[in-house]
Amino acid sequence: ETLTAPEDLKNVMEIMSVLGLNTLQLTLISSLGCALQLKEFNQLFHLIPRPNGVDPLSDSDLEKIVFIGKALGVEVIPEISITTRATGWYHAGFLVECPRTFCESGEIANDITQGSLLPVILEVVRELRGIFDSSSLIHFGSDERNATQACWKESGKLPAYDIFETRLSDLMAANGWYKPSRVLRWENEEGVKYPHRTGGATHYQYTIPDAIEPQDFGSISINSESNPWTVYCQAREWTTLKPHGLMARMPPNLMTGSTNNKGLLAFVIALSSEFPAMKDSSDLEEYISVLCQKLPSSLCADATVKPGRGKPPPRTSNLCRSMTKSSSTPVLRSEPLTSLQMI
């Protein structure tokens, strides 16, 4: 939920290597904004709110992150939201014009009826593929179609998600970029895997289903207040389904800061063949202590979580006000579709 500096990501990957974790998923465009400032799209950067003194991630920053990941045995996967929960595309000028709905719910989509959206998405994908050359996967974010219906209704337009996503899949395939099992999409709240969705791998975030496809991923949210035993049990339940991968969704400072990391360590123990199955929380606590003997002291800090000073303002408030006055500015209007079709 925050923009992380390359040096901090290096520290995260070093710790991941020690823990035996081998994949880092970087959320680059999402409902929280866009952390990118690519060479060909240097005006995309947009965060809500924008942190003071924090620079966007450039091509060279991302290349360094990928290079370090290779050296440490960590695969880095880029994630960009392409259709729904698309606030990060604000500076591209593609958002559906629904300021009232956005102010009330925070939900907004890319306007897939705009003919210039697809070429820009494809060109961004092209750039990311060149940077994340060692990754066999790419994540296309959310597919929350039901949640965007109020936004579309306010705009007076009708979305044709299946048509848009079919065109995206076909154009990626024409360029040799598309293998459905290697493109991930988040599980949506409606629990529907749409048949024409770009991306054949579902990344579960809300549920642990009864059965999954071999290419699917699971995820467990971990923060400084997570109950280690709960995390352990969830991870063990996921292992019985044999997902292609299991992600720990967590803020970077859980690894790099002095905080309670027991949830993360429980996750590692649940997935490691070095440890036996835990019988109860006391058993887990004992093995966390054993694991801590092999780890940097910062990873085993047990700091108390201090109460905050009230609730922060909604992340969408600043953008909500600007959208009420005017729609997003269309600064990205290159037409790379022709060259893409010729490849």
Output the CA–CA distances (angstroms, integers) from residue 37 to 12, 169, 232, in the order listed.
Answer: 22, 25, 38
Neighbouring residues of 310: CB distance < 8 A, sequence distance ≥ 6: none
- Mean pLDDT, to the nearest integer, of 84-107? 92
Identify whether 251 is preceded by a cis peptide bond (ω within 30 of 0). no
Q: What 8-state DSSP symbol labels residue 37?
A: E
pLDDT tens readout for residues 100-128: 999 999 899 999 999 999 999 999 999 99
184 bridge partner residues: 139, 201
Q: What 8-state DSSP symbol labels residue 38?
A: -
Average predicted confidence (pLDDT) for the chain: 84
- Mean pLDDT, to the nearest integer, of 177-202? 96
Reply yes or no on whether the pLDDT at 281 is more than 60. Answer: yes
* pLDDT band per the 50, 70, 90 thresholds, residue 311: very low
Reply yes or no on whether the pLDDT at 203 is more than 80. Answer: yes
* pLDDT band per the 50, 70, 90 thresholds, residue 337: very low
Q: What is the pLDDT of residue 253?
A: 64
Within its chain, how far is the Cα of 96 from the centroid?
22
Reply yes or no on whether the pLDDT at 172 is more than 70. Answer: yes
pLDDT tens readout for residues 59-85: 999 999 999 999 999 999 999 999 999
Neighbouring residues of 298: CB distance < 8 A, sequence distance ≥ 6: 256, 257, 258
Total-model pTM:
0.86
Reply yes or no on whether the pLDDT at 302 is more than 70. Answer: no
Neighbouring residues of 289: CB distance < 8 A, sequence distance ≥ 6: none
Pair of tokens at residue 259: 């905080």
Reply yes or no on whether the pLDDT at 338 is more than 60. Answer: no
Q: What 8-state DSSP symbol labels residue 12?
A: H
- Mean pLDDT, to the nearest integer, of 227-240? 96
Reply yes or no on whether the pLDDT at 1 is more than 70. Answer: no
Contact yes or no for 145/84 (Cβ under 8 A): yes
Q: Could you tell me the sign of the dihedral formed by the alpha carbons of 316, 322, 325, 328, in that order?
A: negative
- Mean pLDDT, to the nearest integer, of 188-199? 95
Strand order in the sheet with 23-30: 46-47, 33-34, 23-30, 75-80, 138-139, 183-186, 201-203, 217-221, 245-249
10 Å Cβ neighbour count for 171? 20
Q: What is the pLDDT of residue 269?
A: 94
pLDDT tens readout for residues 13-57: 998 998 999 999 999 999 988 988 888 887 888 775 566 667 889
If phi > 0 it is left, if psi is from -120 to 50 it is alpha, else beta; for residue 141 that is: left
